[in-house]
Amino acid sequence: MNRIISISNHKGGVGKTTSVVNIGAGLAKHGRKVLLIDLDPQANLTISYGLSESEKHIYDAHSNGNGLEPFHIRENIDIIPASSNLAIAEIELKSKDNDENSIARLINPLKSQYDYIIIDCPPSLGLLTLNAFAASDEVIIPIQPHYLAIKGLAKIIEVVNNIKVNVNRRVEISGVFVTMFDKRKILHKDVLDTIIMYFDDRVFKTKVRTNIALAEAPAVGQDIFQYDPGSNGAYDYSRIVQEVIDMESKFGNK
């Protein structure tokens, strides 16, 4: 079984990186072998693991042609770090005739070594994100329950469909979940109804609640299960992970 999943939403600050860290950690706890790829020049995923610019990052592999060298974090978790010069890669890809397959070519040789490859996308629908979709079987979208957040959904659906038609037939939006949810807010419930209208049974049952421990954990280089296993954040992400695992029979054998 192997699944390549992009965690993407072109809106910034919706919980993409937090989800990559904690879904990755949860899957590793379930014995899945996981590779996390930081494809964001902000390098927040890289920083969450306490790695620095000096580690081997994805831009090196892209520019020197040596291939990706995963960095081992702990049992079942490896990472390909990013650095700010990934922004240069985006410009180079553009000059190479808008190359959308460059990241797929780097990832493919590693595919058989992992159960899950999870890509942390930048908050844009630029060429790096298109490359992530071209390399992926699935796109999972975390959404913050704001009115403006759902306005962008039609765009990301269109972009995934474009990649599906022109570059990578395998890719599809396999799931959507709400982050930073507060059930006391009526607007949050309304927005959730709209999300269900768009995505129907692809909406995860679990909603990730706003939980300060999720924001604190990266500062000490930990995932939520290490930092505060009794927190709402740990509970919610363990349920998200279970839903991801439940999808294996449908998506695990593409």
Ligand X SMILES: Nc1ncnc2c1ncn2[C@@H]1O[C@H](COP(=O)(O)OP(=O)(O)OP(=O)(O)O)[C@@H](O)[C@H]1O
Task: Report the interface residues with ligand X, using CB under 6 A.
Answer: 12-18, 40, 42, 44, 123, 179-180, 208, 210-211, 214-215
Nearer to ligand X, 2 or 103 (CB): 103
Interstrand relation of 116-120 and 34-38 (parallel, antiparallel or unpaired): parallel
Answer yes or no whether residue 17 interacts with Mg ion by CB under 5 A: yes
CA dihedral of residues 4, 253, 246, 113 (deg, nearest 10): -50
Distance CA 147, CA 145 (A): 7
Shortest separation between residue 12's beta carbon and ligand X, angstroms: 4
Among 11, 16, 57, 62, the residue binding Mg ion under the rule CB under 5 A is: 16
Structural tokens at position 12? 């910034």
Nearer to ligand X, 16 or 62 (CB): 16
Interstrand relation of 172-178 and 77-80 (parallel, antiparallel or unpaired): unpaired
**Range 26-55, binding Mg ion (CB under 5 A):** 44
Shortest separation between residue 239's beta carbon and ligand X, angstroms: 13
Please list the alpha-helical segments (H only) found in the chain: 16-29, 44-48, 58-64, 86-95, 102-107, 127-135, 147-151, 153-166, 186-199, 212-216, 224-227, 232-246, 248-251
8 Å CB contact between 79 and 73 = yes
DSSP bridge partners of 72: 78
* Contact partner, 102, from ligand X, Mg ion, none, Cβ < 5-8 Å per class: none
Answer yes or no whether residue 238 interacts with Mg ion by CB under 5 A: no
Structural tokens at position 50? 């306490």
C-alpha 134: how far from its chain's center?
A: 14
Shortest separation between residue 218's beta carbon and ligand X, angstroms: 6
Nearer to ligand X, 13 or 109 (CB): 13
Nearer to ligand X, 17 or 129 (CB): 17
Nearer to ligand X, 117 or 128 (CB): 128
Shortest separation between residue 132's beta carbon and ligand X, angstroms: 13
Shortest separation between residue 46's beta carbon and ligand X, angstroms: 12
Phi, psi of 36, deg, nearest 5: -100, 135
Only segment of 15-23, 137-145, 191-199, 205-213 that touches Mg ion (CB under 5 A): 15-23
Nearer to ligand X, 1 or 215 (CB): 215
Residues that bind Mg ion (CB under 5 A): 16-17, 44
